[in-house]
Amino acid sequence: MSLSAHHPVLLLIVPLGFAAICPLLGAWRRSLCFWWALTGAVATAFLTWSMIGKVTPGGPLTYRLGDWSPPWGLQIRVDVPALALACAVTGIMIVFIVYSYRHARESVEPPSRLPYYYTLLLLVTAGMLGFLITDDVFNLLVLLEVTSVAACGIVAVTGTGGALRSSLKYLFVVAALTVGLILATGFLYSVTGTLDMRQLALRVEGMASGFVPVAVVALSLFLLVLAVEAALFPASWWLPDLAVSGLDPAGALVSSLVVAMASFAIFRMLFVVYPPWLATIGAARRIAAASLGWVGVLAFVVGAVMMAFQKDLKRLIAYSAISQVGLVLLGIAASASRAVAGGLASAVAGACTITCLFLGCGVLTYGLGTTSIKDLRGLGRRRPVAAAIVTVAALSFAGLPFTVGFAAKRLLLEGLFDKGSYVPAAFIFVGTAVALAVFARLVFLLFAGGVPAQDDSLKTAPATMILPAAVVAASLVALGALSYLAIPAIVAAVRSLALGT
Stretch 78-137 residues interacting with another protein (CB under 8 A) = 110, 112-113, 116-117, 119-120, 123, 126-127, 130, 136
Regarding 498 and contact with another protein (CB under 8 A), the answer is no
Cβ proximity to another protein, 67 vs 456, nearer residue: 67
Could you say which of 53, 67, 454, 455 contacts another protein (CB under 8 A)?
Answer: 67
CB crowding 57-94: b at 16 or more within 10 Å, else e: beebbebebeeeebbeebbbbbbbbbbbbbbbbbbbbb
Q: Contact region for another protein (CB under 8 A) — 20-28, 290-298, 320-328, 404-412?
A: 20-28
Check residue 311 for interaction with another protein (CB under 8 A).
no
If binding is defined by CB under 8 A, does position 217 make contact with another protein? yes
The binder of another protein chosen from 11, 80, 128, 149 (CB under 8 A): 149
User: What is the three-class DSSP state of 168?
Assistant: helix
Least distance CB 290 / another protein (angstroms): 18
What Cα–Cα distance (Å) separates residue 220 from each residue in 10, 92, 197, 286?
34, 32, 16, 12
List, in sequence order, every residue forming a beta bridge with 62; answer none if it has no partner: 77
Q: Binding of another protein at residue 194 (CB under 8 A)?
A: yes
Q: Which is nearer to another protein, 120 or 490 (by Cβ)?
A: 120
Asked whether position 43 contacts another protein by CB under 8 A, the answer is no
Q: Sign of the CA dihedral 194, 197, 201, 202?
A: negative
The CB-of-240 to another protein minimum distance in angstroms stands at 15
Q: Tell me the CA distances in angstroms from 481 to 125, 324, 344, 396, one per residue in order.
A: 26, 21, 17, 13
Q: Does 234 bind another protein (CB under 8 A)?
A: no
> From CA 499, how far away is CA 268, in angstroms rounded?
14
Minimum distance, C-beta of residue 491 to another protein, in the bound complex (Å): 31
**Angle, in degrees to the nearest 10, between helices 212-229 and 282-308:** 10
- Residue 251 Cβ vs another protein, minimum distance, rounded to whole Å: 17
Residue 371 CA to residue 212 CA, distance in Å, equals 52
Q: Please report, as residue ranges, which positions from 171 to 190 form the binding site for another protein (by CB under 8 A).
A: 171-172, 174-176, 178-179, 182-183, 185-187, 189-190
Is residue 1 involved in binding another protein (CB under 8 A)?
yes
Closer to another protein by CB, 113 or 409: give it. 113
Give dist(CA 199, CA 133) in Å, integer. Answer: 16
Interface residue with another protein among 44, 125, 192, 421 (CB under 8 A) is 192
Least distance (Å) between residue 136 CB and another protein:
7
Q: Is 165 in the site for another protein (CB under 8 A)?
A: yes
CA distance 212 to 206: 10
Contact of 413 with 343, CB cutoff 8 Å: no
Residue 196 is given by DSSP the state B
Nearer to another protein, 68 or 277 (CB): 68
Identify the residue among 42, 214, 287, 467 touching another protein (CB under 8 A): 214
Of positions 37, 45, 47, 74, contacts another protein by CB under 8 A = 74
Cβ of residue 22: shortest distance to another protein, in angstroms?
8
- 459 vs 451: CA distance, rounded Å: 19
